[in-house]
Amino acid sequence: MMRAYLDWNATTPPLPEVLDAMREASRTAWANPSSIHGDGRAARAVIEDARASIGALVGVDPRDVVFTSGGREANNLALRSAFPIGTPPAVLVTSRLEHPSVTRVAESLEREGRASVRWLEVTRGGTVDLEDLDRALATQEEGTPRLVTIQAVNHETGIIQPVSEVIARAHAVGARVHVDAVQAWGKVHVPSGWDTASIAPHKMRGPKGIGALASRQGVRIDPVLLGGSQEKGIRPGTADASLAAGFGVAARIASDGVTRWAALAPLRDRIERELCAIDAPHGRARVAGDPTRRAPHVSNLIWPGWIGAELVAALDLEGVSVSSGAACSAGTVEPSPVLLAMFGEGDATRGVRISIGDTTTEDDATLAVRAFRAVLTR
């Protein structure tokens, strides 16, 4: 059976150049990079070369790039570092649009007594409500706002958040800003001015199992794990030079990726247009969120009368890979927290995310539309 992979927000196929770099590093840079002998220094050089490429991509000094196991750990580091153990609790401002690696950490910090979480209102267009952000930053009843955390691109809807506006408002009252930019690097422009930002190469055709947290010079990052001096003691553990090598190559290629990904919008729009024209028994699909504020490769459609996870399973049998939400929660019939925040309970289980990439073809689009039509009209 021919298949169409339309789940690029979940993960992306590694580039051939990435795989080549990883194979070469596995062969020549396998030693422990913390060792001071020549073999260790060779592995260390591969890691530092990758760190320089990542710093260039995100616009920071390479010394302010900390390797992690992925974007999830990077978000954990950023949030927990803003609320150190033993300091008076302060306000963390975020929204239910965020990835679970942000929302669940926020909830944990509140349970631990380290933060009071202010959940922002969100618009039906899929962005945080900036007027409510102003209210949250002006209110001192529960303490001083210490951190505002915002996605660059939403993982389910592809909606681009007003990052520049959030940064300006937060910095005006002295709050730090963390940007979860995992879904953005190499695909859309990421505004500057943030204090910390997360990166995951497997979202930009790099390897899984590695990520990074970038920070503005002088921002304090506290370790979550203890037991080693690697990554300036922030992230102990023996580093894998082959993963770093792949990350570095992906970062270098992503540095001019925005134009390439912008060219995907017509194909995304074609898929969306043809799917929204299907006269399904329960009605036609509609786009979730403001269609003018989206990354060029993502479409989330609300299907009346369907449970998104069930539609995804049926499409899989037809040879099409899509998702009903974040990959870390896919396969469940729990309401999407993102769609729940945007629309309420009625549509929170009805979303199906379609996300394409730079190897998606017109034939893939045709196969996908044919599969949707077969499932929806049978």
Whether residue 141 is found in the same domain as residue 206:
yes
Whether residue 228 is found in the same domain as residue 334:
no
What pLDDT, on the 0 to 100 scale, is given for residue 194? 98
The answer to whether position 4 is within a domain reads no
CB neighbours of residue 29 within 10 Å: 22
What pLDDT, on the 0 to 100 scale, is given for residue 325? 67
pTM (predicted TM-score): 0.94
User: What sign does the CA torsion over 70, 76, 77, 82 have?
Assistant: positive
Instruction: Give me the number of domains the chain comprises.
Output: 2
For this structure, is 276 an active site residue? no
CATH number, position 267 = 3.90.1150.10
Q: What is the mean pLDDT of each run of 10 residues along the chain (378 residues)?
A: 95 98 96 89 95 97 95 96 91 97 97 95 97 91 86 98 98 96 97 98 98 93 71 76 97 96 98 96 95 97 95 97 70 82 93 97 98 93
CA atoms of 88 and 19, how far apart (whole Å): 47
Whether residue 225 is found in the same domain as residue 289:
no
Structural domain harbouring 368: 263-377
The answer to whether position 89 is within a domain reads yes
Which residue, of 230, 254, 278, is where some domain finishes? 254
The answer to whether position 6 is within a domain reads no
Whether residue 270 is found in the same domain as residue 250:
no
Whether residue 226 is found in the same domain as residue 290:
no
Q: Enter the tokens of residue 219.
A: 């921002």
Whether residue 165 is found in the same domain as residue 271:
no
Q: What is the CA radius of gyration of the chain?
A: 21
What pLDDT, on the 0 to 100 scale, is given for residue 233? 61
Instruction: Name the active-site residue from 138, 277, 327, 328.
Output: 328
What pLDDT, on the 0 to 100 scale, is given for residue 332? 55
Whether residue 62 is found in the same domain as residue 204:
yes
Whether residue 151 is found in the same domain as residue 97:
yes
CATH number, position 115 = 3.40.640.10
Give the torsion through C-alpha atoms of 77, 83, 87, 91, to 10 deg.
180
The answer to whether position 357 is within a domain reads yes
Which residue, of 203, 226, 254, is where some domain finishes? 254
What pLDDT, on the 0 to 100 scale, is given for residue 87? 87
Whether residue 269 is found in the same domain as residue 237:
no
Which residue, of 198, 225, 254, is where some domain finishes? 254
Whether residue 200 is found in the same domain as residue 293:
no
Whether residue 178 is found in the same domain as residue 286:
no
Instruction: Sort strands 90-95 and 145-151 into parallel, antiparallel or unpaired.
Output: parallel
The answer to whether position 189 is within a domain reads yes
What pLDDT, on the 0 to 100 scale, is given for residue 346? 86
Q: Name the H helices within 85-222.
A: 100-111, 130-138, 163-172
Whether residue 222 is found in the same domain as residue 290:
no
What pLDDT, on the 0 to 100 scale, is given for residue 221? 85
